[in-house]
Protein backbone atom coordinates (compact mmCIF):
# COMPACT_ATOMS: atom_id res chain seq x y z
CA UNK A 1 0.00 0.00 0.00
CA UNK A 2 1.38 3.44 -0.92
CA UNK A 3 1.51 6.27 1.60
CA UNK A 4 -1.32 7.97 -0.27
CA UNK A 5 -3.50 4.85 -0.13
CA UNK A 6 -2.77 4.49 3.59
CA UNK A 7 -3.79 8.09 4.20
CA UNK A 8 -6.97 7.72 2.17
CA UNK A 9 -7.96 4.68 4.24
CA UNK A 10 -7.24 6.26 7.64
CA UNK A 11 -10.04 7.23 10.01
CA UNK A 12 -11.22 10.84 9.96
CA UNK A 13 -10.61 13.03 13.02
CA UNK A 14 -13.40 13.26 15.61
CA UNK A 15 -16.21 15.77 15.02
CA UNK A 16 -16.39 19.03 16.95
CA UNK A 17 -19.51 20.58 18.46
CA UNK A 18 -21.08 22.64 15.63
CA UNK A 19 -21.70 25.70 17.76
CA UNK A 20 -18.03 25.92 18.72
CA UNK A 21 -16.97 25.57 15.08
CA UNK A 22 -19.29 28.37 13.98
CA UNK A 23 -18.24 30.73 16.74
CA UNK A 24 -14.55 29.98 16.26
CA UNK A 25 -14.78 30.58 12.50
CA UNK A 26 -16.59 33.86 13.01
CA UNK A 27 -14.18 35.24 15.60
CA UNK A 28 -11.09 34.01 13.75
CA UNK A 29 -12.36 35.57 10.53
CA UNK A 30 -12.87 38.94 12.21
CA UNK A 31 -9.38 38.81 13.69
CA UNK A 32 -7.89 37.91 10.31
CA UNK A 33 -9.61 40.89 8.71
CA UNK A 34 -8.28 43.17 11.46
CA UNK A 35 -4.77 41.82 10.91
CA UNK A 36 -4.95 42.19 7.13
CA UNK A 37 -5.82 45.88 7.48
CA UNK A 38 -2.90 46.53 9.83
CA UNK A 39 -0.36 44.58 7.77
CA UNK A 40 -1.46 46.24 4.52
CA UNK A 41 -1.16 49.70 6.06
CA UNK A 42 2.29 49.15 7.58
CA UNK A 43 4.23 46.64 5.43
CA UNK A 44 7.61 47.99 4.40
CA UNK A 45 7.38 50.87 6.86
CA UNK A 46 8.40 49.13 10.05
CA UNK A 47 12.10 50.05 9.99
CA UNK A 48 11.72 52.42 12.94
CA UNK A 49 12.72 51.45 16.50
CA UNK A 50 10.56 48.54 17.51
CA UNK A 51 11.58 46.39 14.56
CA UNK A 52 14.48 44.32 15.87
CA UNK A 53 16.22 41.09 14.95
CA UNK A 54 15.83 38.15 17.32
CA UNK A 55 18.03 35.08 16.80
CA UNK A 56 19.61 36.32 13.54
CA UNK A 57 19.42 39.35 11.19
CA UNK A 58 16.56 37.74 9.22
CA UNK A 59 14.50 36.77 12.30
CA UNK A 60 12.55 39.96 12.96
CA UNK A 61 9.99 40.99 15.54
CA UNK A 62 8.11 44.24 15.00
CA UNK A 63 5.62 46.45 16.77
CA UNK A 64 3.03 45.02 14.39
CA UNK A 65 3.78 41.45 15.55
CA UNK A 66 3.33 42.48 19.17
CA UNK A 67 0.25 44.64 18.59
CA UNK A 68 -1.59 42.02 16.54
CA UNK A 69 -0.85 39.23 18.99
CA UNK A 70 -2.00 41.34 21.95
CA UNK A 71 -5.21 42.21 20.08
CA UNK A 72 -5.78 38.55 19.20
CA UNK A 73 -5.26 37.48 22.79
CA UNK A 74 -7.65 40.14 24.14
CA UNK A 75 -10.44 39.13 21.78
CA UNK A 76 -9.97 35.40 22.32
CA UNK A 77 -9.87 35.81 26.11
CA UNK A 78 -13.21 37.64 25.96
CA UNK A 79 -14.87 35.23 23.51
CA UNK A 80 -13.35 31.92 24.67
CA UNK A 81 -12.17 32.45 28.27
CA UNK A 82 -11.63 28.72 28.86
CA UNK A 83 -9.39 28.13 25.83
CA UNK A 84 -5.68 28.99 26.28
CA UNK A 85 -3.60 30.72 23.60
CA UNK A 86 -0.16 29.86 22.22
CA UNK A 87 1.54 32.64 20.29
CA UNK A 88 4.90 33.37 18.73
CA UNK A 89 5.59 36.59 20.61
CA UNK A 90 4.09 35.96 24.06
CA UNK A 91 4.37 32.20 24.50
CA UNK A 92 1.83 29.77 25.96
CA UNK A 93 -0.94 30.44 28.45
CA UNK A 94 -0.87 28.18 31.51
CA UNK A 95 -2.27 24.74 30.81
CA UNK A 96 -2.15 25.08 27.02
CA UNK A 97 -0.42 21.72 26.50
CA UNK A 98 -2.98 19.76 28.50
CA UNK A 99 -6.10 21.68 27.44
CA UNK A 100 -8.67 19.96 25.17
CA UNK A 101 -8.47 22.98 22.85
CA UNK A 102 -5.90 25.72 22.31
CA UNK A 103 -5.65 28.72 20.01
CA UNK A 104 -2.39 29.07 18.08
CA UNK A 105 -1.46 32.43 16.55
CA UNK A 106 1.35 33.81 14.43
CA UNK A 107 0.64 37.53 14.01
CA UNK A 108 2.99 37.96 11.05
CA UNK A 109 4.40 34.84 9.40
CA UNK A 110 7.16 36.03 7.08
CA UNK A 111 8.19 39.03 9.16
CA UNK A 112 11.42 39.63 7.22
CA UNK A 113 9.30 39.95 4.07
CA UNK A 114 6.91 42.27 5.89
CA UNK A 115 9.75 44.53 7.05
CA UNK A 116 11.17 44.69 3.52
CA UNK A 117 7.78 45.32 1.90
CA UNK A 118 8.02 42.04 -0.04
CA UNK A 119 4.41 40.89 -0.65
CA UNK A 120 4.58 37.44 0.94
CA UNK A 121 3.53 37.38 4.59
CA UNK A 122 0.43 36.28 6.46
CA UNK A 123 -1.53 36.32 9.69
CA UNK A 124 -2.29 32.79 10.93
CA UNK A 125 -4.77 31.66 13.58
CA UNK A 126 -5.88 28.12 14.39
CA UNK A 127 -7.98 26.30 16.94
CA UNK A 128 -6.32 22.96 17.71
CA UNK A 129 -7.41 19.86 19.63
CA UNK A 130 -5.72 16.54 20.32
CA UNK A 131 -6.34 15.35 16.75
CA UNK A 132 -4.92 18.45 15.06
CA UNK A 133 -6.30 21.70 13.61
CA UNK A 134 -10.02 22.27 14.09
CA UNK A 135 -10.33 25.76 12.60
CA UNK A 136 -7.77 27.60 10.52
CA UNK A 137 -7.79 31.13 9.14
CA UNK A 138 -5.04 32.75 7.08
CA UNK A 139 -5.01 36.42 6.07
CA UNK A 140 -3.02 37.02 2.88
CA UNK A 141 -2.98 40.84 2.78
CA UNK A 142 -0.94 41.25 -0.40
CA UNK A 143 -3.61 39.38 -2.38
CA UNK A 144 -6.54 40.76 -0.35
CA UNK A 145 -7.59 37.22 0.56
CA UNK A 146 -8.90 35.58 3.71
CA UNK A 147 -8.74 31.77 3.67
CA UNK A 148 -10.86 29.92 6.24
CA UNK A 149 -11.52 26.28 7.06
CA UNK A 150 -13.17 24.21 9.76
CA UNK A 151 -13.13 20.47 10.36
CA UNK A 152 -15.69 18.81 8.15
CA UNK A 153 -16.78 22.09 6.54
CA UNK A 154 -14.22 22.53 3.77
CA UNK A 155 -12.26 25.63 2.77
CA UNK A 156 -13.27 29.02 1.46
CA UNK A 157 -11.14 31.74 -0.11
CA UNK A 158 -12.94 35.07 0.33
CA UNK A 159 -16.12 33.01 0.63
CA UNK A 160 -15.55 30.86 -2.47
CA UNK A 161 -15.22 27.08 -1.89
CA UNK A 162 -11.81 25.56 -2.70
CA UNK A 163 -10.93 21.91 -3.36
CA UNK A 164 -7.65 20.22 -4.32
CA UNK A 165 -7.75 18.01 -7.42
CA UNK A 166 -5.52 14.94 -7.92
CA UNK A 167 -2.52 15.65 -10.11
CA UNK A 168 1.00 14.54 -10.96
CA UNK A 169 3.80 16.76 -9.66
CA UNK A 170 5.38 16.97 -13.14
CA UNK A 171 5.20 20.49 -14.49
CA UNK A 172 4.04 21.90 -11.16
CA UNK A 173 5.53 23.88 -8.30
CA UNK A 174 6.64 22.80 -4.83
CA UNK A 175 6.73 25.46 -2.12
CA UNK A 176 9.63 24.84 0.25
CA UNK A 177 10.80 26.27 3.56
CA UNK A 178 13.97 24.30 4.22
CA UNK A 179 17.35 24.49 5.85
CA UNK A 180 20.28 24.84 3.45
CA UNK A 181 21.26 21.17 3.65
CA UNK A 182 17.72 19.90 3.10
CA UNK A 183 17.19 22.30 0.20
CA UNK A 184 20.45 21.19 -1.41
CA UNK A 185 19.35 17.54 -1.25
CA UNK A 186 15.71 17.98 -2.26
CA UNK A 187 15.83 20.61 -5.00
CA UNK A 188 17.93 18.75 -7.63
CA UNK A 189 15.58 15.75 -7.50
CA UNK A 190 12.52 17.93 -7.95
CA UNK A 191 14.11 19.88 -10.80
CA UNK A 192 15.18 16.64 -12.52
CA UNK A 193 11.51 15.61 -12.48
CA UNK A 194 10.55 18.92 -14.14
CA UNK A 195 9.13 20.45 -10.97
CA UNK A 196 9.90 24.00 -9.86
CA UNK A 197 10.87 24.73 -6.25
CA UNK A 198 9.99 28.06 -4.63
CA UNK A 199 11.26 29.19 -1.21
CA UNK A 200 9.76 32.59 -0.35
CA UNK A 201 9.84 32.89 3.43
CA UNK A 202 6.40 32.06 4.84
CA UNK A 203 5.53 28.54 6.02
CA UNK A 204 1.86 29.46 6.34
CA UNK A 205 1.61 30.64 2.74
CA UNK A 206 3.69 27.71 1.45
CA UNK A 207 1.16 25.18 2.80
CA UNK A 208 -1.76 27.39 1.78
CA UNK A 209 -0.66 27.26 -1.87
CA UNK A 210 -1.28 23.50 -1.85
CA UNK A 211 -4.77 24.02 -0.44
CA UNK A 212 -5.50 26.56 -3.20
CA UNK A 213 -4.18 24.29 -5.95
CA UNK A 214 -1.37 26.68 -6.92
CA UNK A 215 1.36 24.24 -5.79
CA UNK A 216 1.43 20.44 -6.03
CA UNK A 217 3.22 20.14 -2.68
CA UNK A 218 4.94 21.93 0.17
CA UNK A 219 7.98 20.62 2.05
CA UNK A 220 9.05 22.17 5.34
CA UNK A 221 11.43 21.69 8.23
CA UNK A 222 12.44 23.72 11.30
CA UNK A 223 9.07 25.43 11.76
CA UNK A 224 6.94 25.96 14.87
CA UNK A 225 3.30 25.04 15.47
CA UNK A 226 2.10 28.63 15.07
CA UNK A 227 3.71 28.82 11.61
CA UNK A 228 1.65 25.98 10.15
CA UNK A 229 -1.45 25.10 12.21
CA UNK A 230 -3.86 27.39 10.40
CA UNK A 231 -2.61 26.47 6.94
CA UNK A 232 -2.71 22.74 7.72
CA UNK A 233 -6.41 23.06 8.51
CA UNK A 234 -6.89 24.63 5.07
CA UNK A 235 -4.84 21.96 3.31
CA UNK A 236 -6.56 19.00 4.95
CA UNK A 237 -10.05 20.38 4.50
CA UNK A 238 -9.26 21.06 0.84
CA UNK A 239 -8.27 17.42 0.35
CA UNK A 240 -4.47 17.65 0.47
CA UNK A 241 -2.47 14.90 2.17
CA UNK A 242 -0.12 15.53 5.11
CA UNK A 243 2.72 13.39 6.45
CA UNK A 244 5.58 14.00 8.83
CA UNK A 245 9.26 14.01 7.87
CA UNK A 246 9.38 10.20 7.98
CA UNK A 247 6.33 9.79 5.75
CA UNK A 248 3.88 8.92 8.53
CA UNK A 249 0.35 10.35 8.52
CA UNK A 250 0.07 13.22 10.98
CA UNK A 251 -2.45 16.06 11.03
CA UNK A 252 -0.05 18.42 12.83
CA UNK A 253 3.53 17.18 12.30
CA UNK A 254 6.39 18.52 14.39
CA UNK A 255 9.82 19.17 12.91
CA UNK A 256 9.23 18.40 9.23
CA UNK A 257 6.35 17.72 6.87
CA UNK A 258 5.29 17.05 3.32
CA UNK A 259 1.90 18.35 2.18
CA UNK A 260 0.76 17.31 -1.28
CA UNK A 261 -2.14 17.06 -3.65
CA UNK A 262 -3.50 13.54 -4.19
CA UNK A 263 -1.48 11.93 -6.94
CA UNK A 264 1.68 13.85 -6.06
CA UNK A 265 2.47 12.69 -2.53
CA UNK A 266 4.34 9.46 -3.17
CA UNK A 267 6.69 10.96 -5.74
CA UNK A 268 7.43 14.11 -3.73
CA UNK A 269 7.92 12.05 -0.58
CA UNK A 270 10.38 9.87 -2.47
CA UNK A 271 12.54 12.91 -3.24
CA UNK A 272 12.30 13.97 0.39
CA UNK A 273 13.29 10.58 1.81
CA UNK A 274 15.99 9.72 -0.74
CA UNK A 275 18.89 10.63 1.56
CA UNK A 276 17.31 9.45 4.83
Query: How far is Cα 70 from Cα 87, in angstroms, rounded to an integer?
Result: 10
Query: What dihedral angle (degrees, nearest 10) is formed by the CA atoms of 9, 13, 17, 20?
Result: -130
Q: How far apart are CA 161 and CA 42, in angstroms?
A: 30
Residue 8: per-residue pLDDT: 61
User: What is the structure's pLDDT at 102?
Assistant: 98
> What does the pLDDT read at residue 57?
45
Q: What is the mean pLDDT for each group of 10 consecutive residues in the chain (276 residues)?
A: 61 91 98 97 68 49 91 98 96 95 97 93 98 98 98 97 97 97 96 98 98 98 96 98 97 97 97 86
pTM greater than 0.85 (yes/no):
yes
- Res 6: pLDDT: 55
Would strands 85-87 and 91-92 be described as parallel, antiparallel, or unpaired? antiparallel
d(CA 105, CA 92): 10
pLDDT score recorded for residue 11: 75
Amino acid sequence: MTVQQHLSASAPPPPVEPGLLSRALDVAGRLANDAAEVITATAGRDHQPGAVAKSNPYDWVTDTDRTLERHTRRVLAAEFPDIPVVGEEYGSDPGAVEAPYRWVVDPVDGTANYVAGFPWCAYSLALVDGAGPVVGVIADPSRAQIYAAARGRGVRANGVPVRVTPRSPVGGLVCAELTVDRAAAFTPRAVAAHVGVRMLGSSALAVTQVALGHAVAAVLDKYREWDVAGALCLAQEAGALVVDGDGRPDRLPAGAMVVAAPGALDEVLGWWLADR
